[in-house]
Amino acid sequence: MQVAKGLLYSKDHEWVKCEGASIKIGITDFAQDKLGDVVFVEVPSLDDQLIQGEPFTVVESVKAVSEIIAPIDGTIVAVNDRLEDSPELINEDCYGQGWIVSVEPQDEEYVDNLMTDQEYEIYLKEV
């Protein structure tokens, strides 16, 4: 399982990448591997509010339909429209072109509830 360095991770297997004032969010290699081949992504809308711990979108694979849980509170400022026509980007490049949304965080304390890449690697050994 690949764990990208320098990102933050949730226990629900989402990753968070700080990019200036906004935060990119996607699902981890572990999550995409468990899902199998992704065939559909419900792309959320701009300006939707994310509430930490609540679902904000759905990813459908050949195996299952899974809700994606918001790792932080915030407002969606960009969506990856490429996922509508190419949902397989999540399988091919989950930490790059397979990002789902970019969010303006509600506050800076979101990092308190996330794991570093080292902590996430340890967490993966427990699940």
What pLDDT digit, counting tens, does each position of 60-75 carry? 999 899 999 999 999 9
What is the C-alpha separation between 76 and 60, in angstroms, rounded?
A: 21
Domain boundaries, the chain: 9-106
What is the C-alpha separation between 70 and 34, in angstroms, rounded?
A: 19
Report DSSP state, residue 55: E
Chain segment 1-52, per-residue pLDDT in tens: 899 999 999 999 999 999 888 999 999 999 999 999 999 999 999 999 999 9
Which positions ≥6 away from 2 have C-beta within 8 Å?
29, 95
The token pair that represents 108 in the structure block: 């800076």
The CATH label, of 2.40.160.40, 2.40.50.100, 2.20.25.90, 3.40.50.720, for the domain at 9-106 is 2.40.50.100
Based on the number of CB atoms within 10 Å of its own CB, is 19 exposed (0-12), middle (13-18) or buried (19 or more)? exposed
Contact 26, 43 (CB under 8 A): no
